[in-house]
Chain A
Amino acid sequence: MSAGLPLTERRFAVDAYADDAALSAALLAEGVGLSPFEARRLAELLGRNPTWCELHLFNAEWSEHCSYKSSKPTLREFLPTSGPTVVLGPQEDAGILLLGPTGDGDRWGIVIAHESHNHPSQVLPTEGAATGIGGIVRDVDCMGAEVIAVADPLRFGDPSGPQADRTRWITAGVVDGIWQYGNALGVPNLGGDIVFDPCYDDNCLVNVVALGLVRESRILHSRVPEQAHQEPYDLILVGKPTDDSGFGGAAFASMDLDEADEDTNRGAVQVPDPFLKNVLLLHKANEAVRDAAQAAGAAVGMKDLGAAGIACSSSELCAAGGFGAWIDLDRVHVALPNLRPEVIAVAETQERYLWAVPRWFTPTVLRIYNEEWDLPGVYEGAQAAVIGEARSDKRYVVTCRGEVVCDADVDTVTAGIEYERVAAAAVWDEPEPDVRGGDLPGRLLRLLASPNIASKESLYRFYDTEVQGRAVLRSGEADAGVIAPLFDRPWGAALTVDGNPRYGRIDPYWGGVNAVAEAMRNIAAVGATPVGMTDCLNFGNPEVPAQFAEFRESVRGLSAAARALWLKDYPGEPTPFVSGNVSLYNQSAAGRAVSPSPIVACLGVIDDHARCVTPQLKEPGNALIVAGARRAELGGSAYYQVFHEAHGQSVPRPDLNVERNLIHGTIDAIASGGVRACHDISNGGLLVTVAEMLIGGWGHGTCGAQVDLAAVPYDGEETAALREQASAFGETGGFVLEVQPAQVAPVLAIYRERGVAAAVCGSVSATPTLDLGPAGAVSLDDLRGAWLGGLPEVLG
């Protein structure tokens, strides 16, 4: 036991520094990102100078990455997080949304988690992207769930810009990391999206979303059970031996990226290993332990090791249950000799978990990992080992080599720190470009080949979409990915991600609104109903008032949309955010920050995935219906980007009541059975949408179409040229549906009853051409060539 051991003399003498500059320099020399104010606050809380272990522990705990110290007040103020579809809100590693009843009194839930791994991926793209997947999969697994899907929202720099070579290197490296790691793990990739934009030249964004399947009664909580008040509870560390990788990773993720300091940066990136994780996960050793605990009636808790390693996980696991802990670092299995105590305590070595189990159950846990699954035999140094115990007195004590290296109140360790940041919005004053009419076919082909619109097939073919056998709609096949979580039921779970930096740059509020609306449209376009969301908020430096204003306005936009675009079956109930992540300081040392990049992931469910539709046109003779009026909202569009190298002002500003009816109407239309194909109108506008329906998600389309732009619903009094171009290429939300002739009237009625403009604007033909009448025509082969060839041409 820890009792009687002396506190180490290795302490950081906060009180030896009279002025902030000297203290700041001393902290930086130790590799600690705490501000002088924070270091003094720590000494005040402890009532003495911190040990080096405490210094590094609080450095991680008080980092933006762990504490959300700048973002928490804003998130609390705005985001809806509860509601009838929520099984578990955002309080643990992941949120859980309702899938449906099990039939035996229980409920099936879909676990959803969303993370970023931006800084590591900029420095070491392959390892950074891989460990991003590793972390998110652990988050879902440790809720007691089977991990059933991942998706990757990726943001890279301009592949033709001044940093083109680096951007191409990062893009290739990130995709490599995703496939090399994700495929080996055996979790299908359900899609994601890729956006190229100059604002990511110095800071790529690598977000990752994961889904899991769990019965509500089998949810495993990240806390020591209350039984630990009555009987001894061991803390068991499982997985790879601890090394020094990722030491300082949480703090690294919360700093500006200084390119000159690449060697140091690389040391803060963890080393991924899908192999060991596969052995631990997915019907394997972790599940064997969960089953054994259930069978034996052992109340257990589990948490993955992520940011700040053992120290963060053990303190949070215990504090969440109202306990303290004693951690004996001498019992931690390590990969290297002579690691300093603070390194063992906070290093972010991958593929590790921490269990809290009653002592009588400990031998079973050790046997399952170390003998049945032979961790030491399949991976050098890997094992399960008891490293400490829960304690009722709420002290968090860490010992090493006969000394106490950390001794603090556990709630002090986990309470974090908060700041009220100052927000001052900047003004976007770019003028609206002059729109010229004409040349629809030529402009359509150029848009189709532009990197943000062109097919991403050359990249996503690296991802295993088929493993687990659950696929219904895969990457590229449709607006959202769909899986069948259960083999004996026709339920579908749909997942999509969205976030357009060009909208946020003009107006962060509308950028947030559009991210939510577009994500929901993607879900509706396959026929599923949105039930909840996660957000990953990627922004610049919160200490800069203009950048903090972007953050606040974006979150306000997310919130407004989530409340107005409420749950379809529960009028007035906001679509909740059940999980999320904040990634700040996405700026280079030169001060270039990313544009506001809230990335939304939306989960939808459908009770019969047989009704899910793809965008590819099915049968000549069917009608094409456009739902949602076009407006003169070309601001931030791909059209302005490609033809005017501009943004303008007129970002889509949806009337959210109309938008809700548009989305819900589309779900009803598809549920009615008369819709054979559907695609939402987004990047590139209506003509790109129709062209993609001809081409098909995987390029297998054979049908043509005739479209009359004059018949497209339009809201506004603009000049003929602007009306024509906005109808063709404006990104105001909407849908194009392929409808069998007999179903046209009922589908139009669905929209009319909801007050949404919808009209027949064309038809599907057997001639492989997109015929725009007087505006011209393009062959399907040309459309396909432009769309499939665009990205390989740019990426080389």
Chain B
Amino acid sequence: MAAVPRVAVVQFPGMNCEAETKLALEAVGLEAEIYRWNRDPAGLDGFDAMVVGGGFSYQDRVRSGVIAAREPICERLLTLAGQGRPILGICNGAQVLVETGLVPGLQPGRIEVALAPNRMTQGGRVVRRDYFCTWTHLRLVTPPQRCVWTAALQPAAVLAIPMAHGEGRFTSATAGLFEQLAADGQLVWQYCDPAGVVSEDFPICPNGSTRATAAVCNPAGNVLAIMPHPERASWLRQVPQDLPGPWGAARRAAYGQAAALAAAGPGRGIFASLAQSLAVAL
């Protein structure tokens, strides 16, 4: 019997989602270990995949993720990513991967996009700014096999996932970059309504992100930076009862049944995709 694949949950000071990220990985049968930033970076080589979780690394000093991205451990992530090792960045972790130059990674190591402060718009008019926490719906807009972290999902899957961030607006100084990413299948998840219709308008798109982008992968598809939190939607219990759409309906249908609520939630598919990919690789 093959050994259980091991995933490192990389922890920088100020991060705060390590525990639930570890639980979400264990729920799909993987082994997970929280890996402190000041441990030997070479130790990461012994893991089959890495997740950089959410929080406020280094207090979001200067801008989110930028200081953590200068840590030796991120150089190692760059190397391992180049070797095809799966890496997921969630929220602040996504910001770290962007600042490390892993995502979109057209030229690995170069910062090509930014996760700018939220600026919610309706018809181009700014209606709100700053931190926001809510449940969103995401639509898978690349073929599932394009990315390690979506491989086990159905094409055009719609997931209900919560977001909670102040700087999650994908943007770039390079004109046409997101069109190119979309054409190349690197634009993986977009914000949509419960029926799967994508919109850049608030509240469907909760942060004003370019092309309603919620997640971007690297050209090889092994590295994904996602702003909403799949680990907080790993059990059906976590889905709000009054949420519109099929996930809310599933939650309401499970009313009163503890076992049904302990079943997989919408975010589970992201981690299950990794588990499936690693099992194939092993």
Contacts and interface: CB of A to CB of B under 8 A. Distances in A.
B132 to A, nearest CB: 5
A464 B162 CA distance: 10
Interface stretch (B9-17, B72-80, B109-117, B270-278): B9-17
A186 interface: yes
Nearest to A699: B242
Given A183-B131, A461-B133, A462-B130, A616 B232 contact: no
Contacts of B14: 184, 275, 278-279
B40 to A, nearest CB: 13
B242 A698 contact: yes
B55 A700 contact: no
A186 B55 contact: yes
B240 interface: yes
Given A275-B56, A466-B229, A609-B237, A179 B131 contact: yes
A776 interface: no
Interface stretch (A253-261, A339-347, A471-479, A550-558): A471-479
Contacts of B248: 700
B242 A608 contact: no
A145 to B, nearest CB: 14
Residue of B18, B58, B242 with most partner-chain A CB within 10 A: B242
A471 B261 CA distance: 13
A700 B242 contact: yes
A466 B54 CA distance: 12
A697 B240 CA distance: 11
B28 to A, nearest CB: 14
Interface string A675-715: 01000000000000000000011101100000000000000
B237 A472 contact: yes
A772 to B, nearest CB: 24
A467 B58 CA distance: 18
A52 to B, nearest CB: 36
A378 interface: yes
Interface string A584-598: 000000000000000
Contact of A184 (B56, B242, B255, B260): B56
Contacts of B262: 490
B244 interface: yes
A10 B162 CA distance: 59
A789 B252 CA distance: 27
B175 interface: no
Is chain A's interface secondary structure helix, strand, loop, or mixed overall?
loop
Nearest to A474: B240
A124 to B, nearest CB: 19
A378 B164 CA distance: 25
B242 A466 contact: no
B256 interface: yes
A467 B258 contact: no
B53 to A, nearest CB: 10
A297 to B, nearest CB: 25
Interface string B82-111: 000000000000000000000000000000
Interface string A193-227: 00000000000000000000000000000000000
Given A462-B130, A468-B19, A477-B240, A610 B258 contact: yes
A469 B56 contact: no
A183 B255 CA distance: 30
Interface in A363-409: 372-374, 377-378
B55 A464 contact: no
B255 A616 contact: no
A469 B22 CA distance: 11
Interface in A160-215: 179-180, 183-186
Interface string A465-498: 1111101111001000000100100100000000
Contact of B164 (A275, A464, A676): A464
A431 B43 CA distance: 76
A274 interface: yes
A463 B133 contact: yes
Interface in B210-255: 229, 231-232, 234-235, 237-238, 240-244, 248, 252, 254-255
B156 to A, nearest CB: 24
Contact of A469 (B131, B232, B255, B257): B232
B20 interface: yes
Nearest to A475: B133
B16 A184 contact: yes
A471 B56 contact: no
Contacts of B131: 179-180, 183, 462
A461 B252 contact: no
B133 A278 contact: no
A469 B20 contact: yes
Contacts of B132: 461-462
B241 A616 contact: yes
Contacts of B229: 466
A185 B16 contact: yes
Residue of B240, B252, B260 with most partner-chain A CB within 10 A: B240
A646 interface: no
Nearest to B61: A275
B254 A610 contact: yes
A554 B272 CA distance: 55
B71 to A, nearest CB: 11
A611 B241 CA distance: 11
A698 B248 CA distance: 13
Contacts of A697: 242
Nearest to B243: A700
A607 to B, nearest CB: 9
B23 interface: yes
Contacts of A618: 252
Contacts of B260: 610
Interface string B172-207: 000000000000000000000000000000000000
A466 B136 CA distance: 12
A618 B253 CA distance: 11
B154 interface: no
Nearest to B59: A275
A466 B13 contact: no
Contact of B258 (A373, A461, A608): A608
A63 to B, nearest CB: 32
Contact of B55 (A278, A487, A673): A278
A421 B133 CA distance: 47
Contacts of B24: 469
Interface in B18-57: 18-20, 23-24, 36, 38, 54-56
A378 B232 CA distance: 28
Nearest to A701: B242
A472 B237 CA distance: 7
Residue of B20, B133, B134 with most partner-chain A CB within 10 A: B133
A283 B242 contact: no
A116 B282 CA distance: 56
Given A465-B133, A469-B231, A469-B234, A616 B19 contact: no
B244 A700 contact: yes
Residue of A179, A464, A466 with most partner-chain B CB within 10 A: A466
A282 interface: yes
A614 interface: yes
Contacts of A484: 237
Contact of A487 (B23, B38, B252): B23
B161 to A, nearest CB: 10
A608 B235 CA distance: 15
B238 A467 contact: no
Nearest to A488: B262
Nearest to B55: A186
Given A469-B234, A698-B240, A700-B248, 5 more contacts: A184-B55, A372-B38, A469-B232, A487-B23, A676-B255
Interface of B: 13-20, 23-24, 36, 38, 54-56, 58-60, 130-134, 162, 164, 229, 231-232, 234-235, 237-238, 240-244, 248, 252, 254-258, 260-262
Nearest 5 A/B pairs, CB to CB: A186-B16, A469-B20, A275-B59, A490-B258, A184-B56
10 contacts: A186-B17, A278-B55, A462-B133, A466-B133, A466-B164, A472-B237, A490-B258, A610-B258, A610-B261, A700-B244
